Amino acid sequence: MSLLRLRWPTPNGLPPRLIWMPLLIVAVLLAISEHLVEFSPLFVLSKIDEIGAFIARMFENPPPLDYLPQLAEKMLETIEMAILATLIAAVISLPMGFLAAHNATPHPLVGQVVRDLLSFFRALPELVWALVFVSAIGLGPFPGILAIAVVSIGFMAKFFAEAIEVVNKGPIEGIHATGAGWFQVRYFAMFPQALPDFVGTLLYVLDHNLRAATVLGIVGAGGIGFDLINSIRYFEFDRLIIIVLAIYLAVTVVDRLSDTLRTRIIQGGGCKHGS
C-alpha cells in the first residue's frame, strides 16, 4: 500500500503526500533552527568582495622555496602516520570484525561488547583522541598514529563485521560438512567472501587517514598540521599555499594508487571466478 502511495505522477498531477510532507517538515525545522546556527546566505553574499580580497592576498608573494625541504619532511611524516595507523587498524580490525559479526561471534554477549567498544572508538574524532594520547604519552607523531588507528579500528571492524554478516551460507555449510572447526569455518568460508569488501574499506580508510593526519599537528601530534595552523595564525599565506598544494597532491596520489589497486583486485577476483 505504501508503495502505491509513492507513485508519481498522481491522478491530480501533484507529488504524493508521503514525499512532500517529510520535505515540508524538514524545511520548517531548518527555518526554525536557522537563528541557532546563524545561517545566513545573504551575509555570505555581502562579503564576496572581502573574500575575494582575502584570496588575492594569498597570491601576492611568491612561495618561499627555502621552506620546501621542511615541507617535504613534514609531508613524509604525515603520509607515514596515515599508512602506519591504517596498517595497525587493519590487523586489529580483522579479529574484532569476526567477534562483532552476529553470524561469526562465539557468543552474542561477546558480539555486543565488541560492537559497543567499536562505537566508543568511533564516537570521538581523531583530534580528541590525539589530545588524549598527547597528554598521556607526549608530543610527536606516535600519539597521532595511535589516535588515527583507534578511530580507524572503530570503522573498519564495523564494516568488516557487516560484510561477514551477508556472506553466502553455501560455502559455510560446505566447510561445516567436512568436519571443520570454528576457526576453519571462519578462515576458509567467511574470510574469502568478505575480503573484497574489507580491502575496499581499507583503501577508503587510508584515504581518510591521510586527511586526518594533516591536522593532528595542531595539538602536537606530528605531521604537517602544526605548520598549517601557524601559517594561518600568522597570515603567512605564501607558505600556506604550498602546504595546501602539497596536501592536495599527496591525497590525489594516494587516491589514484587506491583506485589502481582496487581495480586490480576486482579484475583478479573476476579472472579467478571466470576460470
Annotate 46-82 with three-state secondary structure. HCHHHHHHHHHHCCCCCCCHHHHHHHHHHHHHHHHHH
Band (12; pLDDT cuts 50, 70, 90): low
Return the percentage of the chain with pLDDT > 90, whole number: 31
Q: Which amino acid, 206?
A: L
Say if CB 3 and CB 19 are below 8 A apart: no
Convert the pLDDT of each residue in 98-107 to its tens digit. Answer: 999 988 888 9
φ, ψ for residue 42, nearest 5 deg = -65, -35
Domains and CATH numbers, the chain: 66-269 (1.10.3720.10)
Q: pLDDT at position 2, please? A: 46
Q: What is the pLDDT of residues 107-142, one digit of tens each?
A: 999 999 999 999 999 999 999 999 999 999 888 899
pLDDT band at 9, cuts 50/70/90?
Answer: low
What number is the average pLDDT over the span 213-230? Answer: 86
Listed as own residue / partner, the contacts of 154-157 with beta carbons closer than 8 Å and 24 or more positions apart are: 154/118, 154/119, 154/120, 154/121, 154/122, 154/123, 155/122, 155/201, 155/205, 156/89, 156/90, 156/93, 156/97, 156/198, 156/201, 156/202, 156/205, 157/92, 157/93, 157/96, 157/97, 157/100, 157/114, 157/118
